[in-house]
Structure 1
Amino acid sequence: MTRTISPPVRDTVRRVADSGAHVVLATGRSMLGTVPVLRELDLTSGVALCSNGAVRLDAASGEPVAVETFDPGPVCARLAEHLPGALFAAELVGVGSLVTAPFPEGTLTGETRVVSRAELAERPTPRLIAHWAEHTPEETLAVVGSLDLPGCHRTIDHYEPWVTVVPDGVTKGSALEKLRTELGIPCEDTLAIGDGDNDVEMVSWAAHGIAMAQGPASVHAVADEIAPAVEQDGLADVLSRWF
């Protein structure tokens, strides 16, 4: 299914950017998956934070300007032990992914090369994905939710049985705080809107954190406000109060 950004959301985001505010797309997508979204939103300046904050992308050039990586070997081995049959994908920035088996069509962006788990684990990566096919997100959470994965930070998708792993200490919130400090923006002038488990730290970080209605309880619990769902153009609704 092709997903597009609705005209009200696109127009509102454009209005925010035109006002002089720093609009930062912070996403779990890879760099290759983020660039088309930036282009659809006509965001051609500043930066985007990809791979849950592990990759900083220049919005104008579409090129990475900072990348944080970790050793995927120990994490891969631990997840394989507890998620039998899981598929793994390690991001190759600007290229695609190394995968242990083909992923469902449309779920990864860029080239994919099938390798053994041992070969996948040889190269540092900013983002590792474990896809536990034939299982539910709830089953995945039950297994991985309390699992110790040293040296990394993990989030669990609430739509798909996906576990996303990035370097320890890296979250959307930590990446945004680093950027806020560099830009000299007062803490009280920060706003964040998210709808996933990987948005918890970001929504908590912002002076005003907003969770979308379709998001999981984890992000609702830390939000200052719940916005209408994506299907109701909730993003446009909340941004229009300020812009």
Structure 2
Amino acid sequence: MKKPGLVIVDLDGTVVAHGAGDTSLTAAAEPSPAVIEALAAVQAAGVPVAIATGRAIWGALRTARSLGLTRGLISAAHGAVTYDLAAGAVVDSHMIDPSLAVKSLAAADVRTAFAVELGTVGWRHTADFARDFHSDWADVVDVATLAATSTPRLAARLPGGSRYGAGLRCPLAGKLANDAALDPGMYCVEVGFNGWIDIGPAGVTKATGAEAIARHHGVSAADTVVFGDAANDLPMFGWAGHAVAMGQAVDEVKAAAHEVAPAVGDDGVATVLRRWFR
């Protein structure tokens, strides 16, 4: 690929190790100096840097600040929320009515706990939703109140799920998603880790989030390079002119990329970007 006109990076597993983000079970990790310097070199060359992440916006902002990003856009919640760093505000969001999804998931497994993104404030959640990770929290509500909350993302979680590892999905969460059989015409479903499922607007993915970023900057998909490591990055990989998978990604993700970088722990993003920006 020629020198890109836009660089879009995933966060967890790409610029920081897994376990560093909004659903982290540990304290947030920091990006390496090499990655921070590489992204600074991109911006110094006049090329915009953006983020496309599955995290909620408040979790994404923490790492954006650590990366030294003060302008440009963040696509959060798997493409459902777009945030302008310079303006300090959400500039676009795609919302769902979570009520039918809550009903279907609860019927599939009565142990399911729920949370929804509440603006930029934090998670609105049921009392049984485990707060065992670093995040921002809004309020505790009953299921009926939560189900009536318009939101860009509903999170459903089962106890005893598998921990995240190398981009693998939790089998308990996968079974819950299959049993609930949510209508794909209404919802986009992402099976995650630790018993976790994300439910967002139908047709909204990291690809649509990346497209909104590119349109904002007047850059084509063909001139955009994207970095990611997990299954939720696959739509974005299919959209971009050049997709880079991290070295620790599973084979499915690597196969969809144009290039495989060194692993996140080996500063793969910095290694690739130095080809064009120094």
Is the shorter-chain TM-score for this pair beyond 0.5, marking a shared fold?
yes
The alignment covers a number of residue pairs equal to 241
Query: Would the alpha carbon gap of residues 18 and 25 (structure 1) be closer, same or farther in structure 2, given more than 3 Å must change?
Result: same
String of CA shifts for 1:137-183, please: whole Å, max 9, x gaps: 123224425863221111122x4321111111111101211332343
In 1, Cα distance between equivalents of 2:191 and 2:255:
16
More displaced 10-residue stretch of structure 1: 164-173 or 145-154: 145-154
Q: TM-score, normalised by structure 2?
A: 0.80
> Runs ≥4 in structure 1, deviation > 4 angstroms?
none
Query: Would the alpha carbon gap of residues 143 and 103 (structure 1) be closer, same or farther in structure 2, given more than 3 Å must change?
Result: closer
Q: TM-score, normalised by structure 1?
A: 0.91
2:264 match: 230
Say what the alpha-carbon RMSD is for the aligned residues.
1.9
Q: Secondary structure at the match of 1:106?
A: coil
1:152 match: 187
1:65 match: 91
Residue 14 of structure 1, aligned match among 32, 40, 51: 40
User: How much identity, in percent, do the aligned residues show?
Assistant: 34
2:253 partner amino acid: V
State the Cα distance separating 1:236 from its structure 2 match: 1.2
1:199 match: 233
1:214 partner amino acid: Q
1:194 partner amino acid: G
Query: Would the alpha carbon gap of residues 147 and 227 (structure 1) be closer, same or farther in structure 2, given more than 3 Å must change?
Result: farther
Residue 41 of structure 1, aligned match among 64, 67, 80: 67
Higher RCO (CA-CA < 8 Å; seq separation 6+): 2
Q: Say if 2:105 and 2:176, in contact at 8 Å, map to a contact too.
A: no
State the Cα distance separating 1:79 from its structure 2 match: 1.8
Residue 154 of structure 2, aligned match among 124, 128, 131: 128
In 2, Cα distance between equivalents of 1:217 and 1:78:
32
1:139 partner amino acid: L
More displaced 10-residue stretch of structure 1: 225-234 or 89-98: 225-234
Q: Say if 1:156 and 1:197, in contact at 8 Å, map to a contact too.
A: no
Residue 212 of structure 2, aligned match among 162, 178, 198: 178
String of CA shifts for 1:49-81, please: whole Å, max 9, x gaps: 111111111112432111110100111122222
Residue 131 of structure 2, aligned match among 85, 91, 104: 104
In 1, Cα distance between equivalents of 2:226 and 2:83:
18
Query: Would the alpha carbon gap of residues 185 and 123 (structure 1) be closer, same or farther in structure 2, given more than 3 Å must change?
Result: same
2:95 partner amino acid: T
Query: Would the alpha carbon gap of residues 169 and 18 (structure 1) be closer, same or farther in structure 2, given more than 3 Å must change?
Result: same
Q: Say if 2:74 and 2:84, in contact at 8 Å, map to a contact too.
A: yes
Residue 222 of structure 2, aligned match among 171, 179, 188: 188
